[in-house]
Amino acid sequence: MIRSFVLILFCGAIVGAAESNWPQFRGPGGLGIGTGKPPVEFGPDKNVVWKAEVPHGHSSPCIWGMRLFLTGLDNGKLVTLCLDRADGRELWRVVAPAEKIEPTHRIGSPAAPTPCTDGERLYVYFGSFGVLAYDFTGKEVWRKALPVPVVEFGTGASPILADGKVIIANDQDVGSCLLALDSRTGAEAWRVERPEFRRSFSSPFLWRHDGIEELVLAGSLWVRSYDVKDGRERWSARGMARVSNATPVAGDGVLIVSSWNVGGDEGERVEMQPFEEFIAANDKNKDGVLTFDEFPAGPVKDRFSQIDVDKDGRVTKDEYNHMRDMFAQAVNQLFAIKPGGHGDITETHVLWKVSRHLPYVSSPLCFNNRVYTFKNGGLASCYDAITGAIVYQAERLDSPGDYYSSAIGADGRVYVASQKGTVVVLDAGDAPRVLARNQMGEPVFATPAVLDGRIYLRTAKYLYVFGDHSPIIP
């Protein structure tokens, strides 16, 4: 009996026991829910278990057992890294066979998508090459080369696994599609063309409810659901921004979707003249098309590269009118969808919606029966997940700057990082009570993993692990 009592005490003391995995962007199910009791206060010199210097990149940690995976750009090469979860030692790295690195936004990275794993293989997506599958020793199992997306800001959507398939979202200015690859072989299982969708950067989300699974992808103007087996469309809902960045999430039986972009708020819409009026006033050489120099300065000219779909340096009537329609139809909002819909569900299955104080890139978090969002500038909002009732809205965290990282919930708290490198810890209650503002001293774009009481946080130069120093028992 004494031996049993000692054993119980010993097991209870091992805070770092490896109880779970973090297999994709935002962890199990893409829900952003961490495990264990992570620290509230931490930083480069506080509660550090270990840190490792890593190549530049925006992908988040992917963890299975004692292995941690990341991607990065190192000396012009796209690489995949495997680190020992216990101490940060690099176990292996492999170089992707990309001939040319895709262009990105000035603050972006060609290593932005987070890898995913099924515990046997690691699946990595680089817009500069395509999809690569590795075993846990770093040996390549298969590769699937894909065309480089036609968008100058780079690839943002992370792959996920569903029904034995690797799901790749590839919304771009021309050639948008949703692709499913067999996870064992890399062979194409199905492909859905999305010609009506333009550039977006949201990751696909696997919505599990009522004994079924469906793939949800937020895109320009619409959010759409597909059957996992064959890619057949299940439902669509209007009410999205012109460009979608945030990834949907679910909780309490509802799907939460968020999108915001310039020109989608009432009173601040970007308006484009009818083509006939615009070209009559600006077509200097009278050739029936418009070049960059012919556009007058302003918000429309600022988006010339988006209007010029085929990137030939000239905007045709069709290209102009398509963008004009998108600006007119775009809606910025956060909304909840109930399950069971088919066809256009905009008027039948949207439970509630909010159109103010919306996040730009940071995805919403559904945690403890609440929906949390974080707007650029450090403004936190909280809503009842079922009714949409405002718990609080646009409360200042005293942590200004942009928010590209998405929030994670764990142990009754919410963790969210600003681009400037402040990780705010917020009490997940009915008041916006800030418990800590942890300064990392360098930018943060990646979403942290919170697993078994430890926080795995990628900054511009390092991967930090914060938490208890108890050994991890696999």
Task: Burial-class residue 211 by CB neighbours within 10 Å (0-12, 13-18, 19+).
Answer: exposed
pLDDT for 269 equals: 84
Going from N- to C-terminal start, the domains of the chain cover 2-267+330-466, 275-328
In sequence order, the β-bridge partners of residue 320 are none
When pLDDT is cut at 50, 70 and 90, the band that residue 12 belongs to is very low
When pLDDT is cut at 50, 70 and 90, the band that residue 9 belongs to is very low
Query: What would the pLDDT profile of 139-175 be if each residue is shown by its tens digit?
Result: 999 999 999 999 999 999 999 999 999 999 999 999 9
pLDDT for 8 equals: 38
| pLDDT at residue 333 tops 50 | yes
* Cα angle, residue 301 at apex, residues 299 and 305 outer, rounded to 5°: 115
Spatial CA neighbour of 218 closest among 235, 199, 240, 198:
240
Q: How far apart are CA 22 and CA 20, in angstroms?
A: 7
DSSP-derived letter for residue 319 is H
Task: Burial-class residue 84 by CB neighbours within 10 Å (0-12, 13-18, 19+).
Answer: middle
pLDDT for 3 equals: 46
Residue 423's H or E segment, with its range, is strand 422-427
Radius of gyration of the chain (CA): 23
Q: State the amino acid at position 378 in one-letter form.
A: G
CB atoms closer than 10 angstroms to residue 379 = 20
Spatial CA neighbour of 240 closest among 212, 217, 271:
217
Residue 463's H or E segment, with its range, is strand 462-466
Helices (H), 330-383: none
Residue 223's H or E segment, with its range, is strand 222-227
When pLDDT is cut at 50, 70 and 90, the band that residue 6 belongs to is very low
According to CATH, what is the number of the domain 275-328?
A: 1.10.238
When pLDDT is cut at 50, 70 and 90, the band that residue 262 belongs to is confident
Residues whose CB falls within 8 Å of the CB of residue 106, separated by 6 or more in sequence, listed in order:
none
Structure tokens at 474: 């696999």
Structure tokens at 6: 């000692």
pLDDT for 469 equals: 80
Domain 2-267+330-466 has CATH 2.60.40.420: no
| pLDDT at residue 191 tops 50 | yes
Give the orientation angle of helix 317-329 with respect to helix 275-282, to 10 degrees: 130
When pLDDT is cut at 50, 70 and 90, the band that residue 268 belongs to is confident
When pLDDT is cut at 50, 70 and 90, the band that residue 394 belongs to is very high
Q: How far apart are CA 43 and CA 48, in angstroms?
A: 7
Higher pLDDT, 387 or 271: 387
pLDDT for 363 equals: 98
Q: How far apart are CA 132 and CA 142, in angstroms?
A: 6
Contact 122, 168 (CB under 8 A): no
Higher pLDDT, 15 or 29: 29
Spatial CA neighbour of 110 closest among 82, 90, 138, 80:
80
pLDDT for 217 equals: 98
- What's the predicted TM-score (pTM) here? 0.94
Estimate to the nearest angstrom the gap between the alpha carbon of 310 and the chain centroid.
26
Q: How far apart are CA 410 and CA 32, in angstroms?
A: 9
* Low-confidence winner among 255-269, 314-328, 390-404 (lowest mean pLDDT): 255-269
pLDDT for 19 equals: 56
Average pLDDT over residues 429-438: 96
Q: How far apart are CA 158 and CA 114, in angstroms?
A: 5
What is the pLDDT of the chain when averaged over all its residues? 94
- Give the SS3 label for residue 154: coil
Query: What would the pLDDT profile of 276-327 be if each residue is shown by its tens digit?
Result: 999 999 999 999 999 999 999 999 999 999 999 999 999 999 999 999 999 9
pLDDT for 468 equals: 87
Query: What would the pLDDT profile of 44-89 be if each residue is shown by its tens digit?
Result: 999 999 999 999 999 999 999 999 999 999 999 999 999 999 999 9
| pLDDT at residue 18 tops 80 | no
